[in-house]
Amino acid sequence: MIWNEKAECMSENDKETLQLERLQMAVKRAYESVPYYKKRFDELGVKPEDIKTLKDIEKLPFTTKDDLRDAYPFGMFAVPRKEIVEVHTSSGTTGKPTVSGYTRGDLEIWGEVMARGLCMFGVTDDDIIQNTHGYGLFTGGFGVHYGAQKMGATVIPISTGQTKRQIEIMQDFGTSVMIFTPSYGLYLAEEIEEEGIDTKTIGLKAIGFGAEMWTEEMRQEIQKRFNAPAYNIYGLTEVIGPGVGLECGERDGLHISEDHFYPEIIDSETHDVLPDGEKGELVLTTLTREGTPLIRFRTKDVTKLTRGKCGCGRTLVKMDRVTGRTDDMMKIRGVSVFPSQIEKALLRIDEVEPHYQIIVTRPHLMDEVEVQVEASESLFSDEIKELVGIREKIEDYIHSEIGLRVKVTLVEPKTLPRSEGKAVRVIDKREL
């Protein structure tokens, strides 16, 4: 099923024509209505009229999270505040949060792109969606909610937490679709099994997950535990929220709704635009946003783009699932390390539950990494030398994955913090 065949299966020509037309309008609107953009364009000596082809987008300046912070709270609004009907913000853990303002039209777009995704997951208006994403300033909850409403499915806006209640409702209401972050999904599966309920009897049809990074092994684990296919959701508050990119039945990449968002991949050091197929930082331009239009927003998410007709029939460009963030990336003794690499190594040891935490310190000028891994019944042995052997095996696997020696510590089960939202995988204690 395709939600909006006209938009999702456009020919490359039609798509480019539409994108150029919308880009020109978006740039003009940004320049004329947002003082920040006028200043940046003028500094670079570019005018909206300079956009004659899609490639001309490269003449425009980038927008960063810092720029949005400087405009806090309403400096990026392109319409009078009166026309903004909803606001969302980023978490603000690294400073002032960034504010995204939505007009009625923006909410319409949000629901539309998210409904396209739910349709890709095989969801229909007959489904019951249990949405465990948080409702609030965080966009996760509302994005899924608007998509589900647009489609006409039944939404249970349960939000995050209250795990016992989640399980009860899954059973009593006959939930057919779950939306969760991968780490919360694993936690939920664990709790369900603890209660002696067979997850397969819940009869899920599909799982949608996003909001944090995961590995293919983690997806397999979740699919196995719930006996249902899991689909990736990508989005970010600054751009619109969840719904920017969504996975179809092929499950090998996320379709970006290119009629609303224009993606580019850049080298985050040189800022050069990279060709399709090359990995780099995703940069997004909103083509239709009215409240807070963004020109070339640097997402810091690492991915690559693939074009061509997909097996599902859509022609929308596909992005790989995000394998790292340019700022989540740890530089350990000068080597780039992503938490996902450590996770991959851990999953090579069958017995290890995928609960772990990475602690980075710098005791004497040299970076040290400790990976705390929860021990499980099957890997525990009465022999010290066997336990040491398992620990060394994990260390070796991590070494072959990232090229660095780390210290692995086995910790008691259920002692690492379980997330009810995003997992805290890395604790960086270095003063960088």
Partner 1 sequence: MKVKQLSIFLENRKGRMRKALDVLEKGDVNIRALSIADTSDFGILRLIVPEPDKTKKLLEDNNFIVKIGEVIAVRMQDQPGGLGKILGILDDNDINLEYLYAFVEEKENGAIVLLHPEDIDGGIKALQNGGAEVIPAKDIYGL
Task: Name every residue whose Cβ is closer than 8 Å to that of residue 67 and which is 6 or more positions away in sequence.
Answer: 36
43, 198, 350, 377: which one binds partner 1 (CB under 8 A): 377
DSSP string across 156-200: E---S--HHHHHHHHHHHT--EEEE-HHHHHHHHHHHHHTT--GG
- Residues in contact with partner 1, counted by CB under 8 A, come to a total of 17
Residue among 44 and 388 whose Cβ is closer to partner 1: 388
388, 392, 403, 424: which one binds partner 1 (CB under 8 A): 388
39, 381, 399, 424: which one binds partner 1 (CB under 8 A): 381
86, 410, 418, 426: which one binds partner 1 (CB under 8 A): 410
270, 383, 417, 432: which one binds partner 1 (CB under 8 A): 383
Residue among 1 and 388 whose Cβ is closer to partner 1: 388
φ/ψ of 59, rounded to 5, equals -80, -15
Tell me the per-residue interface mask from 254 to 273 with partner 1, x by CB under 8 A, - otherwise: --------------------
**Sole window of 228-236, 297-305, 340-348, 378-386 interacting with partner 1 (rule: CB under 8 A):** 378-386
375 scored as a contact of partner 1 (CB under 8 A): yes
333 scored as a contact of partner 1 (CB under 8 A): no
Residue among 149 and 376 whose Cβ is closer to partner 1: 376
**Sole window of 53-61, 65-73, 247-255, 384-392 interacting with partner 1 (rule: CB under 8 A):** 384-392
161 scored as a contact of partner 1 (CB under 8 A): no
412 scored as a contact of partner 1 (CB under 8 A): yes
33, 64, 149, 409: which one binds partner 1 (CB under 8 A): 409
Pairing of strands 206-210, 177-180: parallel
- Rounded distance, CA 287 to CA 77, Å? 15
**Sole window of 9-17, 154-162, 354-362, 409-417 interacting with partner 1 (rule: CB under 8 A):** 409-417
72 scored as a contact of partner 1 (CB under 8 A): no
227 scored as a contact of partner 1 (CB under 8 A): no
φ/ψ of 233, rounded to 5, equals -120, 130
414 scored as a contact of partner 1 (CB under 8 A): yes
Residue among 43 and 383 whose Cβ is closer to partner 1: 383
> Considering the complex, what minimum distance in angstroms separates the CB of residue 244 from partner 1?
40
87, 273, 312, 411: which one binds partner 1 (CB under 8 A): 411
413 scored as a contact of partner 1 (CB under 8 A): yes
CB atoms within 10 A of CB 153: 19
380 scored as a contact of partner 1 (CB under 8 A): yes
186 scored as a contact of partner 1 (CB under 8 A): no
Residue among 43 and 377 whose Cβ is closer to partner 1: 377
384 scored as a contact of partner 1 (CB under 8 A): yes
CB 353 within 8 A of CB 380: no
Q: Residue 33 belongs to what H/E stretch?
A: helix 12-33
Q: Residue 89 belongs to what H/E stretch?
A: strand 86-89
Q: Read off the tokens for 348.
A: 């090579």
What are the residue ranges of helices labelled H in 307-411?
339-346, 384-402
In angstroms, the Cα distances linking 200 to 10, 154, 271, 348, 417 are: 39, 21, 48, 25, 27
> Considering the complex, what minimum distance in angstroms separates the CB of residue 412 from partner 1?
5
**Sole window of 57-65, 97-105, 228-236, 412-420 interacting with partner 1 (rule: CB under 8 A):** 412-420
| Burial tier of 359 (Cβ tally within 10 Å: 0-12, 13-18, 19+) | middle
Residue among 25 and 411 whose Cβ is closer to partner 1: 411
- Rounded distance, CA 18 to CA 316, Å? 13
Q: Read off the tokens for 280.
A: 């780099």
> Considering the complex, what minimum distance in angstroms separates the CB of residue 258 from partner 1?
49
- Rounded distance, CA 25 to CA 110, Å? 19
DSSP string across 198-250: -GGGG---EEEEESS---HHHHHHHHHHHTS-EEEEEEETTTTEEEEEEE-TT
Residues engaged in binding partner 1 (CB under 8 A): 375-377, 380-384, 387-388, 409-415
